[in-house]
């Protein structure tokens, strides 16, 4: 009978609804029920984006605003991009290959060199601040103080880059050297901080751990693990 325990547990696990966030890296969840599982590739490009877009403001509310603006824009365009990594490489100039040495966009040599470094440098050569920030974000520890904001631009670009952005939808929330202006749209202006939330990749010890052999434990871990808060 003892040998049947793992089989019975696997059977019970198969009847349980899947956890909302089975990813090892965390998830995004929208109020409409949409759930996105972060991948290892997402974590890499999120780290590159944060370091190269706002690294000097980590830690700080400016970095928080940048991260949430990126995530909220990804959610708004969720039908257009299959992954956060792909979206970030399209939206963020410092990691957009079009601005790199072999890209088609005309820009200064210094920008091209910067893009090449941001895209190709080993993450081990990046300052720890960006990696630390992304870990905190994926644990749900970064508050969303800019709900509904889905664009950020260098302030000097405002007049020609986003002429449709109305003054009442803009915010330049933080002082201390920031050059960004953040925008929301008519579609997103009523979003609340919980319109999209981060579900951390929680892993709690289970009493089953002491009863199951390793091969069984790994197969049922996600189903017996952690359900959304």
Q: What is the pLDDT of residue 11?
A: 65
Report the chain's mean pLDDT, rounded to a whole number: 75
Each residue's pLDDT tens digit, 109-145:
556 788 888 888 888 888 899 999 999 999 999 999 8
Q: How confident is the model at residue 159 (pLDDT cuts 50, 70, 90)?
A: very low
> Average pLDDT in the 16-26 region?
68
| Angle, helices 84-91/61-76, rounded to nearest 10 degrees | 110
Alpha-carbon distance of 59 to 45, in angstroms, equals: 18
- Reply yes or no on whether the pLDDT at 226 is more than 90: no
pTM over cut 0.75: no
Q: How many CB atoms are located within 10 Å of the residue 10 CB?
A: 14
The domain ranges of the chain are 1-21+201-229, 22-200
Lowest mean pLDDT among 24-28, 82-86, 180-184, 186-190: 180-184
Map tokens 């909220």 to a residue: 72
| Residues present in the chain in total | 229
User: In this structure, is the dihedral angle defined by the CA atoms of residues 149, 150, 152 and 155, taken in order, positive or negative?
Assistant: negative
The residue ranking higher by pLDDT, 19 or 200, is: 200
pLDDT at 93: 84
């Amino acid at each position: 009978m003892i040998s049947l325990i793992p089989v019975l547990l696997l059977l019970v696990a198969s009847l349980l609804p899947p956890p909302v966030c089975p990813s090892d890296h965390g998830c995004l969840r929208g109020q409409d029920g949409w759930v996105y599982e972060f991948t290892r590739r997402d974590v890499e490009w999120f780290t590159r984006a944060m370091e190269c877009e706002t690294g000097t403001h980590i830690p700080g509310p400016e970095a928080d605003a940048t991260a949430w603006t990126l995530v909220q824009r990804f959610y708004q365009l969720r039908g257009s991009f299959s992954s956060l990594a792909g979206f970030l490489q399209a939206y963020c100039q410092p990691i957009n290959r079009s601005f790199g040495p072999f890209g088609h966009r005309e820009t200064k040599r210094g920008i091209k060199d910067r893009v090449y470094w941001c895209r190709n440098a080993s993450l081990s050569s990046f300052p720890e601040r960006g990696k630390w920030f992304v870990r905190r974000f994926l644990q749900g520890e970064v508050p969303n103080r800019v709900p509904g904001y889905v664009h950020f631009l260098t302030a000097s670009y405002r007049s020609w880059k986003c002429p449709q952005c109305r003054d009442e939808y803009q915010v330049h929330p933080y002082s201390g050297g920031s050059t960004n202006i953040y925008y929301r749209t008519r579609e997103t202006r009523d979003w609340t901080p919980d319109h999209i939330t981060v579900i951390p990749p929680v892993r709690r010890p289970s009493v089953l751990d002491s009863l199951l052999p390793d091969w069984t434990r790994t197969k049922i871990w996600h189903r017996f693990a952690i359900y959304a808060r």
